[in-house]
Amino acid sequence: MSGNIFNKLWVIESLPSGELRTGKNLFDNQLDKAKQVQQDLVVEFAEPITKSELFDVLEKIRNEALSGIYPMIHFECHGCEDGLGTASGELVEWDEIREILIEINRATKLNLMIVIAACNGAHLIKASTRLDAAPFWAIIGPEVEVTAGHIQDNFGRFYESFFFDLDGDKAIGILNEGAEHQDRTYHFLSAAGLFSRAYRAYYKSHCVGKGKKERVERLVSEAMKNPDVKRRGVAWARQQVKKGLASEDQHFDKLRKRFFFIADFPENDARFPLSKDDIVAT
């Protein structure tokens, strides 16, 4: 978890009125030591009330990233299975969040780190488990609801530790001290881990057994819509489909290069040297 580029921390809070201002408290009172250990660290607080204002903030972050300011984004918002809540009571669906995070992550050359404090971060992870593009380099978040007191107590020390040596494992250990549940409250998931999850699910449902047979027939049906293929017959079409599916290693590498933006940033090829065999074996 080290070696990545972060030169700005955004604290985004959108909580209903009357609730504990956990994001504002973090910004005002908990980050002094973190700024001391990384003296060039810029910290900015944003308090969008509405869905539109939240997207304005995220668009600003994307534009900054295009100019070389690479962020960590810390969200202090409520979440549920369907999305992220704003102070106005509007719901921002996880897919909407994911799409703008992909754009920010692309602008950072795949160096975006997300921290989700109070809400159930597992839902964003679930929505992001796809093979099209990476929405972040890494995400830290809880898989259970977390109380504001726990958030206040530990996030300042988390950032102090993280920016001291960029050792995320140690920092997460600090974040989980005094966890309210038997298992760790906060979890770390990298883009490599996300891709592995998504490809493993895809492989099991499309490349072996019943799923593979259904995939073959679906592709044959699509191919038969082509007059030239139809003229050659369904047996020929099925043979060609099976030949194509036999080269799954090439398909895997195509998916990997797309997910990690390797066409745009060739250096990411060496950063994410995943193999199909290693992923499907686990």
152-183, pLDDT tens digit by residue? 567 888 888 888 887 878 888 888 876 555 55
Computed over every residue of the chain, the mean pLDDT equals 86
Residue 85 lies in a domain: yes
**How many domains is the chain partitioned into structurally?**
2
- Same-domain status, 33 and 130: yes
Q: pLDDT, tens digit, for every residue of 228-260?
A: 888 888 888 878 877 766 677 888 999 999 999
pLDDT over threshold 80, residue 76: yes
* Confidence check: pLDDT of 1 > 50: no
Portion of the chain with pLDDT greater than 70, in percent: 89
CA distance 51 to 73: 17
Task: Say if residue 65 is in the same domain as residue 172.
Answer: yes
Contact status, residue 125 vs residue 189, Cβ threshold 8 Å? yes
Give yes or no: residues 30 and 159 share one domain: yes
Instruction: Supply the pTM of this predicted model.
Output: 0.84
* Cβ burial, residue 191 (10 Å; 0-12/13-18/19+): buried
Label the pairing between strands 42-46 and 186-190. Answer: unpaired
Tell me, what's the pLDDT at 181?
53
Residue 83, token pair as written in the block: 């999305």
List all residues 6 or more positions away from 91 whose beta carbon is below 8 Å from its beta carbon: 51, 80, 82, 83, 84, 85
2 band by pLDDT with thresholds 50, 70 and 90: very low
**Residue 80 DSSP SS3:** coil
Task: Tell whether 128 and 258 lie within a shared domain.
Answer: no
- Report the 10 Å Cβ neighbour count for 115: 23
The half-sphere exposure of 56 on its side-chain side, counting CA atoms within 13 A, is 8
Instruction: Show the tokens assigned to 186.
Output: 């906060």
Q: Which of 140, 164, 190 lies at the terminal end of a domain, its last residue? A: 190
Question: Is there a single domain that holds both residue 130 and residue 266?
Answer: no
Cβ 2 vs Cβ 152: under 8 Å: no
Q: Which residues contact 144 (CB under 8 A, 6 or more apart)?
A: 120, 181, 185
* Per-residue pLDDT, 180: 57
Residue 239 lies in a domain: yes
Domain carrying residue 227: 195-281
Q: Is residue 62 assigned to a domain?
A: yes
Residue 18 has pLDDT above 50, yes or no: yes
